[in-house]
Every structure is written in C-alpha cells, then in structure tokens.
Amino acid sequence: MDYHVMDYNTVIKRIETYMSKFEGDYTDWYIGITKDLDERLFDVHKVEENGIWISFGADTEEVAKKVEEYFLNKKTDGNPTPLEENVRIVYVYKKNAKTTP
C-alpha cells in the first residue's frame, strides 16, 4: 500500500477528525504503528475491512512513534511499539466485540 506521507500535526489532526465522527471516547479506540498494515489490522486485530478504521503514512519512524505516544497518553488503547526501521504506518480503529482487543 502506498501512502502520501504526512507530518506529525497533520496525522494527529486527521485521526482526531476521523474519531470525532463516531460516538465514544479515546478508550474506545486502538492505536498502533506498523510496516505491514494488512497483517496487523486484519490478521492480528481482526478488524473488518469495512469496519471503523483509518491509517496514514508518517514522514519518519520517529513521527509515527510520536503520534502513537500522543494517543496512548490520551488513554487510547494500544501497546507502545519499539522504534524500528520502516515502521511508518499509523493506524487506529474503533474496538468492538470482534476485534482483538
């Protein structure tokens, strides 16, 4: 999947805007970063392709990590991901009975 990469503020704004379209608060969502979106989102987390989720490409691995930290600090569910090469895809999904978690 090809991404138009974005800076920190743009990714934050886009995710916040997307999340605001749905009921609930930060704890109803899961944030993560990856280099393989399909594997993480659909295989690991069991998110449906037509479910409530969005992803963006970050400028750098550091930007992706900072975005993840921003949302984790807001109590969005997720696990801090170690800083790794090519881990630039930021994803967020609304948790439901079928997702893990």
pLDDT category at 4 given cuts 50, 70, 90 is confident
Residue 35 resides in a domain: yes
Residue 76 resides in a domain: yes
Q: In this model, does residue 2 exceed pLDDT 60?
A: no
Which range of residues forms the domain containing residue 70?
5-94
The pLDDT, as a whole number, for residue 57 is 96
Q: Note the pTM of the prediction, 2 decimals.
A: 0.94
Residue ranges with strand state E in 1-101:
5-6, 29-34, 53-58, 89-94
Residue 100 resides in a domain: no
Q: How far is CA 64 from CA 6, 16, 38, 59, in A?
A: 10, 15, 17, 8
Instruction: Give pLDDT tens digits for 78-97.
Output: 999 999 999 999 999 999 99
Instruction: Give pLDDT tens digits for 61-73.
Output: 999 999 999 999 9
Residue 75 resides in a domain: yes
Instruction: Give pLDDT tens digits for 24-46.
Output: 999 999 999 999 999 999 999 99
Q: Provide the edge-to-edge strand list for the sheet that holds 53-58.
A: 5-6, 53-58, 89-94, 29-34
- Count the domains in the chain: 1
Residue 86 resides in a domain: yes
Residue 53 resides in a domain: yes
